Structure 1
Amino acid sequence: MLTIILYLFIAIVVIQLFYYLFVFAKFSFAKAQEINAKNIPISVIVCAKNEEENVIKYIPLLAEQNYPNFEIVLIDDASSDSTLDIFEEFEKTYPNIRLVKVKNNEAFWGNKKYALTLGIKAATKEYLLFTDADCYPTSKDWITAMSAQFSAEKTIALGYSGYEKISNSFLNKLIRFETLLTAVQYLSWAKIGNPYMGVGRNLAYKKEEFFNVNGFIDHIQIRSGDDDLFINQAAHSDNATICYAPESFTYSAPKTTFKDWFIQKRRHVTTAKHYKAFDKAQLALFFSSQLLFLILPIILLAFQFQWILVLSLIGFRYLFTWIVLGFAAGKLKEKDVMYWFPVIEFILIFTQINVFITNIFSKPAHWK
């Protein structure tokens, strides 16, 4: 039995090395991305529901972007606070702001996809750039960097959106490591020709891509997924590209309690079951290999079975993954989380198990 477990453990290490060597390394070791400005007309789209504190801080940062031809489409999704009032003041202040007022619709009540659809239809530019109301760009060249990835063939651009750093907070490092790992996965798979998701905090595509798949209609009944489910359906090797130039990053304030972050993660994972079969399979295989990599050596070492070989495989796997993720973290300006890599990975794996189990027994809340 122990021999079988050893062979299984070796297979798990091989699977892990396959992911890191043949998938993730394609992004981690890619050369730095240059920005060749194209100045194509862009509509920046922001959908907000009860975000008065955030929009008053972040919308002016969008309006001050160093870009010659863009508009901002502000969508108020039936807010009950002062969000709409603030948007109306911005509309008076900035001539390139367009305001879309969404009223509650009985058929689509509380559905962000309905609000976004109205905003997309109201946009006057051919190319769309999305971010959330609680996000802000790292530079005034955010639009320039993201739009530079478009070409005649590439009409979908997947960007990176991270979380602010909070010093002396282990939870903050855990959140940012999870965000880093997720980004490495979807950016790497996109780079090798299999885009399967994107994040709505930093995502761009040509308007025709939206209408080519009839918008969100195929998953309108699913509250989440205006970003990842749309990309899973619309993106492919010919039309999708990635953007990882530092000027293209956006950031949000992270959760400050484990409970709030756990609730957020519960919402995020609910859409994965609706991905294409291959995407679900590769994600499941990666997570399973991570979990078994932790469990199997414990069994082998408990019986001191081939312990030198087992420890050598553990050390080699950690060294290799540390290098690959370290280079990726350097590209995405998240190097400090890698100092805690083995500990954070261990906690994250069992947190994900907890999320999956919890979601089986109860449904998470979605768009406010």
Structure 2
Amino acid sequence: MIIFIFISIAYLILMISLIYGWQQIPEFSPDFSPKETGFSIVIPFRNESENLPVLLNSLADLQYPAHKFEILLVDDASEDNSVKSCKEFQEKHPHFRIKILENERRSNSPKKDAISTGIEIAEFDYILTTDADCIVPKLWLQVFNDFIIKDGYSLIAGPVSLFSSESRKNMKPFRVFEELDVLSLQAAGAGAFGMEQAFMCNGANLCYSKNAFFEVDGFSGNNKIASGDDVFLLQKFQQKKYKVNFLKSKEAIVQTQAQKNFRALVSQRVRWAAKAPAYKSLFSKLAGVIVLLMNVGLVLAAVLALMEIWPYYPVLIIFLLKFNFDFGLLYLSAKFFKREEVLRSYFWSSLAYPFFSTYVALKSLISGYEWKGRKFRS
């Protein structure tokens, strides 16, 4: 019980720190500075024929001079009509600089290889990555341009949310659970940036200097891990003392598809958890261990309380403290993304999350996962 209390204290301190970090980042709005920055938008894809047309249509609506950006679509051995969709888009928009590339496989990480394939021929100074199942906002490039001109960052992590076309009443329980989880990850990631201890970002909305990418030797050193094209690159930039920041701007929010079912959600989270042991940042490792021990501890404490081995009231008090501090961080994120309505499902999600998190952590240690039709070992 004493150990669990110390873990709980450490967890609460972590949550307070992340809340403080989030609030340290001012919200940014575009000031429509001169459009000076050139962007190479790199989009890896594999079997995304259903999603690519939606993404490509959003790219067609970008309010930025066509000669100041290019779109690099990198096919990772698709077996559907993905390439056909890209070619049709290319034909309909001859005024855009669009290239359709074949992924050059050279490591155990297809996505890192695909991004590297695009970067190697990129013509502009800044790389912007997103995923094939996303939608980008109209002012996407304008906001990044203004942010870069203002402070000259080498890496900028952008906000990501799930598609919000459904009302909460029509959402399946796992879909609401997933959105709450994404909101918490966004808040934690941004909060760490605000603390100047950044360790997490999302490749669905990530911008960085091409020169800096080459100076840190790209994705080398992490090629054996299938995922992590975002967080490992962030950590390499930090090791080199490059300027990094989180772009807290509503005009920069990229929306991504939710997972199709609960099994897919678990598989995605296992993939994310599998890369955690390779983190270089001491803060990221410490934060990960604290969060894991807190969730595992709550599960064990609940079992022991039900068996009347532990008194239930200290467990209940700790849960309520965690419940309230987690809600504080989550509320800030939900308010920013204008998704306060999903907080109505927070209570049952907070009960389920320790069990979900513990299961994902254990599964990431003992089994592999499937991603884009391929199987990987953790």
- Give SS of 2:229's match: coil
Q: Secondary structure at the match of 1:43?
A: strand
Distance 1:319 1:109 in 2: 41
Counterpart of 1:141 (choices 115, 139, 142) is 139
Q: Shift of the alpha carbon at 1:21?
A: 1.5
Q: How far does residue 44 in structure 1 lie from its aligned partner after superposition?
A: 1.6
Which of these residues, 41, 44, 64, is aligned with residue 41 of structure 2? 44
Letter in 2 for 1:141: L
Whole-Å Cα distance in 2 between the matches of residues 8 and 109 of structure 1?
Answer: 39
Q: Which amino acid aligns with 2:332?
A: F
**In the alignment, is residue 185 of structure 1 matched against residue 182 of structure 2?**
no
The answer on whether the counterparts of 1:28 and 1:328 sit within 8 Å (CA) in structure 2 is no
Letter matched to residue 195 of structure 2: I
Report the Cα offset of residue 292 of structure 1: 2.4
Aligned to 1:270: 274
Whichever residue aligns with residue 22 of structure 1, its letter is S
Identity %: 21
In structure 1, distance between residues paired with 2:154 and 2:87? 32
Point out where structure 1 has 5 or more consecutive residues left out of the alignment: none
Paired residue for 1:356, among 355, 361, 367? 361
Q: Secondary structure at the match of 1:53?
A: coil
Aligned CA distance change for structure 1 residues 286 and 103 (closer, same or farther; 3 Å): closer
Deviations 1:9-61 (CA, angstroms, capped at 9, x unpaired): 54334222211212233215754323233422222221112212211222121
Q: Normalising by the residue count of structure 2, what TM-score does the alignment of the two structures yield?
A: 0.85
Does the 8 Å contact 1:110/1:367 carry over to 2? Answer: no
Alpha carbons 1:75, 1:116 under 8 Å: kept: yes
Contact kept? 1:224, 1:366, Cα under 8 Å: no
In structure 2, give the amino acid aligned to 1:116. I
Structure 1 length as normaliser, TM-score?
0.88
Give the match for residue 99 of structure 1.
Answer: 99
Aligned to 2:80: 81
- Report the 3-state secondary structure (helix = DSSP H, G, I; strand = E; otherwise coil) of the residue aligned with 2:29: coil
CA shift at 1:179, angstroms?
Answer: 0.9
1:258 aligns with 2:262: yes
Residue pair 2:301, 2:315 contacting (<8 A) in 1 also: no
Alignment partner of 1:212 is 2:215? yes
Distance 2:118 2:198 in 1: 25
Does the C-alpha gap of structure 1 residues 55 and 306 become closer, same or farther in structure 2, counting only changes over 3 Å? closer
Which deviates further from its counterpart, 295-304 or 357-366? Answer: 295-304
Map 1:196-211 → 2, pairs under 5 A? 196-211=199-214
| Superposition pairs of residues 1-368 of structure 1, within 5 angstroms | 5=1, 7-28=2-23, 30-38=25-33, 39=35, 40-68=37-65, 69-94=68-93, 95-102=95-102, 105=105, 107-108=106-107, 111-137=110-136, 139-151=137-149, 153-165=152-164, 166=166, 167-235=170-238, 238-278=242-282, 279-293=284-298, 295-296=300-301, 299=304, 302=308, 305=311, 307=313, 314-368=319-373
In structure 1, the residue corresponding to 2:72 is in which secondary structure? strand
Once the 2 structures are TM-superposed, how far is the Cα of residue 65 of structure 1 from its aligned partner? 0.4
Secondary structure of residue in 2 paired with 1:154: coil
**Structure 1 residues 298 and 111 mapped into 2: Cα distance closer, same or farther (>3 Å)?**
closer
Deviation at 1:93, TM superposition (A): 2.7
d(CA) in 1 for partners of 2:322 and 2:353? 17
- Aligned-residue CA RMSD (Å): 2.6
Structure 1 residue 291, shift from structure 2 partner: 3.4
Per-residue deviation, 1:289:
2.2
